[in-house]
Structure 1
Amino acid sequence: MQLKSLPKKQIICNGRVIDLSIPQVMGILNVTPDSFSDGGEYTQIDLAVRKAQEMISQGATIIDIGGESTRPGASYVGVQGELARVIPIVKALAKYDVILSIDTSEPEVIKQAVEAGAHIWNDVRALSRPFALETAAALNIPIILMHMRGEPTTMNQLAQYGDVVNDVMDELKLRIKDAKDTGVRDENIIIDPGFGFAKDVNHNITLLDNLYRLHELGYPILAGLSRKRFVGTVTECQNASERVIGSVSGHLFSIQQGASIVRVHDVKETSQAIKMWNKLQDAATCRNP
């Protein structure tokens, strides 16, 4: 299914309005030594800032900073370890004209990151850690709730579904309900189906092919399949850095189904694809007003 246009939605980040009826590119900035694709490349502040600047110039409107690897089998870092990696980078990037997202599940990390200038909480565990729900409600910032089962060390054993699309939607509904019941505002919620998390190749492909159905939940959608293992399996690219074309293709397909944000390693290539998509959308609108 292809939508004629993205849903007319927006999020507000510290007074700044982000129009989600236009595809937004979230550039990945992992400040970890062990992330699956770029681990160890941007652990120094100057290198991280330089990479963020490059992604901004290439079209990223959001920079997603992560201090803990969530690849399959990744080990727990701890709050202090995350803080030491993330907060100096946030402070260094806060002066630039870009929205900063923090990829963390730790309430203390996001609290200190917001104080340092961050805007969005991107939580792969969908606010399941102790006090995460309460912290999200108190901070009153956009929250990305991602679908995952278990932890990075156990999620591959939990990739069992009756119907992966229905099951993912049902489990996201529960996390949305818990968030709203705790005081998270409806307009602050963004959902992410969690490509690659507790899902095998067929699950991921089925989910991508039916991504449009997530609009039934009523929230903006983020798609993050950049360089994931299933992309490598489909494209027969073992090396993560070789999965650029497969990743861009997958993200463009997700946008065609209504994903408002794509979380990517390859900002330049993704931005070029989106420009082509936007031009084709304009042409279709002129042809069929």
Structure 2
Amino acid sequence: MSSLTLRLRQRSLTLQAGRPLLMGIVNCTPDSFSDSRRLETVDERVQHGLELAEAGAAIIDVGGESGVTHRPQVGVREELERVVPVVERLVDHGLIVSVDTWKPEVAEAVLSAGAHLINDVSGLYHARLASVVAARDAGIVLMHTRAAPKTEHFPDYGGRVVADVRNVLGQLRERALQAGVRSDAIVLDPGPDFAKMPAESVEVLRDLRSLAVHGHPLLLAVSRKYFVGTIIHREPDDRLAGTLAALGWCAERAKFSIARVHDVREAADYLKVRAVLDGVEEMPSIDRDDVRLQWLHDDEDDDEGDPGGSREPLRR
């Protein structure tokens, strides 16, 4: 199985073909469109990040400004107050931390606080952002969009949305390289739902293989997205099944990828079962003489008060 190394400052991640790494989301905002869970304090946000890492996230993505377009832009100072304390503590715990921001001033501060990756959803709206990342030898996610930050815009792609995504990502890649960002520190994001109607997001994801031509990992940011909700008619918090379907589809076609997800435990379980079925992980062994599912109970003490032995029998 082929592999690719992503280098993020002093840290590195090895990606295996067809097996996405997971990026867990910590929203430090009161108005996220996709997350009804409100993490009000730094302690709550840090704890959530630690739980996501324990559940299988290789990267924790911290965000201090929602992408919703009907809310005012958050100022630099307020965004920093939301994210810097969280970044510092997660880094102190040894985690690889990404920050979702498009502002160079915020990027400078969070990289000083120890962040490893800047997740830019603006398509380098501020050209200086790439130079800030390069100066810290950090990583960057470059996303396709045709809309300015915090604005809603759906351009007419003339039936060529995939070609536009491919061309823009290539241009962003060249701009980042010219600014001094290392090639092995770049992640490309097709940007589903950003400046795209739901059908256009689906069209782009159907052709992911053509977007992997630059040799960089792709960010699969499909979790709870609007295109998923359009297909299954579910609100954001009820889009897990649709998210996993999209994740599975994309993982097969992206080769090297990072999946940005809200539900890390469920995504990790999905990917683990899939890996066993694909034959890239071993099936856990179980004693043929054991007629009970051992992982339901750690020891015989769990049967106290249950003389009938209600543990589920192994179907043989």
Asked whether the two chains share a fold, i.e. TM above 0.5, the reply is yes
Indicate how the Cα distance of structure 1 residues 283 and 68 shifts in structure 2: closer, same or farther if over 3 A, else same. closer
2:34 equivalent among 26, 34, 37: 37
Partner of 1:18: 13
**Separation (CA, whole Å) in 1 of partners of 2:281 and 2:80:** 47
Instruction: For CA contacts below 8 A with separation 6 or more, give which structure has more relative contact order.
Output: 1
**Separation (CA, whole Å) in 2 of partners of 1:71 and 1:161:** 26
Shift of 1:284: 9.9
Aligned pairs for 1:48-127 within 5 A = 48-127=45-124
Shift of 1:241: 0.4
Partner of 1:46: 43
Residue 255, structure 1, aligned to residue 251, structure 2: yes
Partner of 2:238: 242
> Greater shift after overlay, 157-166 or 197-206?
157-166
> Greater shift after overlay, 149-158 or 68-77?
149-158
- Structure with the higher fraction of residues in helix conformation: 1
**Separation (CA, whole Å) in 2 of partners of 1:68 and 1:283:** 38
Find the structure with the greater CA-based Rg.
Answer: 2
- Alignment deviations for residues 227-279 of structure 1 (CA, whole Å, 9 cap, x no partner): 01110110111x21000110111112111112510000111111011102222
**Separation (CA, whole Å) in 2 of partners of 1:275 and 1:115:** 35
**Separation (CA, whole Å) in 1 of partners of 2:158 and 2:76:** 32
**Separation (CA, whole Å) in 2 of partners of 1:123 and 1:214:** 18
**Separation (CA, whole Å) in 2 of partners of 1:77 and 1:283:** 44
**Do the aligned residues in 2 keep the contact of 1:149 with 1:155 (CA within 8 Å)?**
no
Aligned-residue CA RMSD (Å): 1.9
Amino-acid identity (%): 37
Shift of 1:54: 1.6
**Do the aligned residues in 2 keep the contact of 1:223 with 1:262 (CA within 8 Å)?**
yes
Indicate how the Cα distance of structure 1 residues 61 and 181 shifts in structure 2: closer, same or farther if over 3 A, else same. same
- Alignment deviations for residues 142-186 of structure 1 (CA, whole Å, 9 cap, x no partner): 111011112254333336443111110101111111111222221
> Greater shift after overlay, 118-127 or 263-272?
118-127
> Greater shift after overlay, 250-259 or 157-166?
157-166
Partner of 1:129: 126
TM-score (norm 1): 0.90
1:142 equivalent among 139, 144, 157: 139
**Separation (CA, whole Å) in 1 of partners of 2:165 and 2:158:** 9
**Separation (CA, whole Å) in 1 of partners of 2:178 and 2:11:** 26
> Greater shift after overlay, 47-56 or 158-167?
158-167
**Do the aligned residues in 2 keep the contact of 1:235 with 1:246 (CA within 8 Å)?**
yes
Residue 184, structure 1, aligned to residue 181, structure 2: yes
> Greater shift after overlay, 165-174 or 66-75?
66-75
- Alignment deviations for residues 36-78 of structure 1 (CA, whole Å, 9 cap, x no partner): 0226712311111121122112111111000011124342112
**Separation (CA, whole Å) in 2 of partners of 1:153 and 1:17:** 32
**Separation (CA, whole Å) in 2 of partners of 1:74 and 1:171:** 27
**Separation (CA, whole Å) in 2 of partners of 1:89 and 1:56:** 14
Indicate how the Cα distance of structure 1 residues 170 and 280 shifts in structure 2: closer, same or farther if over 3 A, else same. same
1:226 equivalent among 223, 230, 238: 223
**Do the aligned residues in 2 keep the contact of 1:43 with 1:85 (CA within 8 Å)?**
no
**Separation (CA, whole Å) in 2 of partners of 1:185 and 1:52:** 27
Q: Which runs of 5+ in 1 are unaligned?
A: none
TM-score (norm 2): 0.83
**Do the aligned residues in 1 keep the contact of 2:42 with 2:86 (CA within 8 Å)?**
yes
